[in-house]
Each structure stands twice: as structure tokens, then as C-alpha cells.
Amino acid sequence: MNPRAWLWLACLWLFACQPAPLPAPVYLVNEGKLYPLQAETSATPLRLAAQAGLAPQPADRFLLNGQPIPADFPLPAGQTYTLQRIPALHFRLQTPQGETNLQSTAATVAEALAENGYTLRLQDFLSPPPHTPLSEGLRVEYRPAQAYRIRADGVEITAFSSGKTVGQALASAGIALFGLDYSLPPENSAPQAGELLRVVRVSEALELTETEIPYTTRYEYTTDLPLGAESLLTPGEPGLKVSRVRVRYEDGQETARTAEAEQTLRLPQEQVLGRGTQVMVQSLQVGNKTLQYWRAVSMYATSYSPCGTGTGDCSYGTASGLPVQYGVVAFKRDLFNALRGSQVYVEGYGFATVADVGGGFPDGRLWIDLGYSDADYVPWSQWVTVYFLAPAPAYIPAALQ
């Protein structure tokens, strides 16, 4: 073998005997802890994390020299670099549809939801708040806002709310219920998306009505006054009461009236009248005669005859036994009993004797029935003055006092 061939063989032997170069060192950072590793040619972030004994998850996030890379991305061979693992955190998400277990490497709750496909709006409900740091096992409640039509104070608007009740949905739109106000549906009920929420404004007013309470009159009989004369002893004063009516208005329209208890503001004061009982005989000139009478009153006069009593039968006698004829007059039973046989003078009729009993008026008005025979009957229906001629009876009935 020539010397040149031996030289080449020596060089090859020397090269083959050189040790193989070692893989470049790689540094894995996980939650603040440094793991020095030797990266193989087929290394990926997931394989390196497993090599470090970290039990990586598909949702973990990795940074290569500060830049994000996929978990299965082939890492460059023969280079020294720093790989950072951000482990995915498990959290529970509660929505109106139920509870879901999710993972995320985001720093905050809002970012974790966005990472999982949830878009937050200002009106959405989120607890804890959006900027809360994400932690392992955190429970998050999320209610997306829904659109509602709200009609209040004569205006209809569309508003978004994540409230669980009608009242909360109204409050989200800045609409409050005051006093007697109510909503349709009721404020404690659960609203449906797109539903019309109506606010009914309620007010009440009191209407006061004043009414006089009439006073009563009491008589005190006195001998200081002539019979039938009256004088005011104590003036009466009407009382005053107030009735209250509560009026209900809904959206400005009256819907109900409720009467409440009356209240007496002032009691009536009784009027006291003095009524004379002193019998005083007075004179009346009738033609060429002078009559002495002790009482003159206005009475309603009717007339009757034996066959003109209105009963359909003829009756010729009276309660005193005298025949029905001119000069006989009838009173109600109480006056007849007290004045039977007394003499009276009736203007327009003449002199007569109280000799019969008649019906009279049920309401107590003074009444006299003028007697006639059938032959000389004259119908009467008018007020007349009746003079009761002296002497006065021992007992004077109350109707003539």
C-alpha cells in the first residue's frame, strides 16, 4: 500500500474515534420552576413537558423564547432555547343551560370565557367579575343578557338584561317601581326573551266631602208665653262631618273609588225653643159678633155628607150621636177625645161643634172635616184658619200647644 493510502486510512480512523456531539441543552420553565433538559431531534413541547414529569394537558399553552407555539410543534434540533409551559386550569361554568367543566390558560375569567367561545357584553351577568384571576376549580356563573320590550310612562323601548326577574330586568333599564306601581308580568316572575314588560304607574288621591249634620230642636213649655207662642232659648248649630273617598289611578286613568270611614269634625248643638202654655182669650170680630177664642191654628179642610164619605155607603150618625149636617166637624181621634163638644169657628164655613171622628193625615198635619147634609154639600180642599172658642178645655192636646 502506498504511503498516500496509509495517510487516508489514518485520517478516517482518527475521525471515527472522535466522540459524537451531545444534544444542545433546553430549559423548560413551569410555574416559576426551571427544568434543564436534553432535547431530542423529535422533541415537541408536550414531549418535553412529559420528559420533565409534568403530566401536560392538550389545553396547556407553550411559549418558545417568549413566542406562543402549538403543543405538538417540532422543536429545533441542536439549539439551546427556553420553553415555558402555562398549564391549563380547570373551572366550572354555570349558565342557564346547565354546568360545564372547562379548561383555559387565560389570566382572567373574561379571557377564559373568550378562549372558550363566549362573547361578553356589558349587560351580561358574570360572577366573579371579568377581571378576576382564573384559578383552579373556580366556579363561574354566566347569564347572557336577553332583549325585552319595556313599556313605561307612555314610551316603549328595547332593553337588554341578564336579570332573573322582571323587576331586575326593569332595574337594568333604569326603570323603577315606586309605591303602588306594579308590572305585567309581576316583578318577581321570570321574564321570557322578547317579552313585553309593562309598567303600570299607580297613584291614589283622597277626596274630602263636607256635610252638615242638622241640629235637633227641643221644646221647653213655659207659662210665661201665650199658648202657641215660641221664643228662642238656645240657638242651634249644625254639626260638620267629613267623608273620605280614596280614588285609585292607573297610568293616569281612574280605576276605583273606595269610601272610607266618615269623621265627625263638629257635633251639632241642640236648639231649644220655649213654647207657651198660658191660655189667653182673644177677641175676633165676625160681622156684628165678637168671638172669644183661646187658640187659632191653620188646618187643612175637607168636607163630607152622609152619603159623601167616600166609602160607597151612607152614614147619617156621628161619633157624638149628632146627625151629619152643616155645623158638625170631625177631627182625628186624639183631638176629638180632648175637644168633644167644643165650639169652633172656621173661616169661610162658620160656627161648628166638634162632634165626629175622621181619618186625617198620616204625617200629623192638622186637619178638619166639615160636615154637610147631602142636600147642601159643598166640597172643600184647602187650608183654613180654625178658631177654638172659649172657654178652653182643662186639657189642651199637644197638637194645639
Residue 12, pLDDT score: 42
Tracing cell 221644646 back to the chain, one arrives at 219
Angle formed at CA 37 by CA 32 and CA 39, multiple of 5 degrees: 130
For 26-64, what is each residue's pLDDT tens digit?
A: 888 888 888 888 877 678 888 888 888 888 887 888 998
Judged by average pLDDT, the poorest of 106-110, 225-229, 233-237 is 225-229
Cβ atoms within 10 Å, residue 294: 21
User: Over 90: is that where the pLDDT of 242 sits?
Assistant: yes
User: Over 90: is that where the pLDDT of 78 sits?
Assistant: no
User: Over 70: is that where the pLDDT of 179 sits?
Assistant: yes
**What is the band of 155 on the pLDDT scale with cuts at 50, 70, 90?**
very high
User: Over 50: is that where the pLDDT of 5 sits?
Assistant: no
Backbone angles phi, psi at 335, to 5 degrees: -70, -40
User: Over 90: is that where the pLDDT of 249 sits?
Assistant: yes
User: Over 50: is that where the pLDDT of 279 sits?
Assistant: yes
Mean pLDDT of the chain: 88
What is the rounded average pLDDT of the residues 282-304? 93
In a 10 Å sphere around its CB, with 0-12 CB exposed, 13-18 middle and 19+ buried, how is residue 393 labelled? middle
**What is the band of 15 on the pLDDT scale with cuts at 50, 70, 90?**
very low
With a threshold of 0.85, does the pTM exceed it? Answer: no
The β-bridge partners of 28 are: 35, 83
Angle formed at CA 221 by CA 342 and CA 212, multiple of 5 degrees: 120
Residue, of 50 and 329, whose pLDDT is higher: 329
236, 232, 320, 220: which is closest to 275 by C-alpha? 220
- Report d(CA 10, CA 19) in Å as an integer: 17
**What is the band of 8 on the pLDDT scale with cuts at 50, 70, 90?**
very low
- Report d(CA 390, CA 382) in Å as an integer: 25
What is the rounded average pLDDT of the residues 194-204? 95
For 347-368, what is each residue's pLDDT tens digit?
A: 999 999 999 998 888 787 899 9
What is the rounded average pLDDT of the residues 178-191? 94
Q: What is the CA radius of gyration of the chain?
A: 60
What is the rounded average pLDDT of the residues 102-128? 92
Q: How far is CA 36 from CA 25, 26, 51, 69, 75, in A?
A: 7, 6, 11, 19, 15
> Letter for the amino acid at 249?
Y
What is the rounded average pLDDT of the residues 185-208? 94
Residue, of 28 and 311, whose pLDDT is higher: 28
Return the C-alpha torsion angle 75, 76, 79, 85, nearest 10.
-20
**What is the band of 254 on the pLDDT scale with cuts at 50, 70, 90?**
very high
Residue 310, pLDDT score: 66
Taking phi over 0 as left and psi of -120 to 50 as alpha, with beta for the rest, 189 belongs to: beta
Which grid coordinates are listed for 302? 175637607
Residue 359, pLDDT score: 82
Cβ atoms within 10 Å, residue 378: 11
297, 296, 298, 302: which is closest to 368 by C-alpha? 302
**What is the band of 10 on the pLDDT scale with cuts at 50, 70, 90?**
very low
Residue 6, pLDDT score: 44
Angle formed at CA 155 by CA 154 and CA 161, multiple of 5 degrees: 130
- CB-based contacts of 38, cutoff 8 Å, min separation 6: 22, 23, 25, 26
Q: For 82, how many CA atoms within 13 A lie in the half-sphere containing its CB?
A: 9
- CB-based contacts of 27, cutoff 8 Å, min separation 6: 34, 35, 36, 37, 80, 81, 82, 83
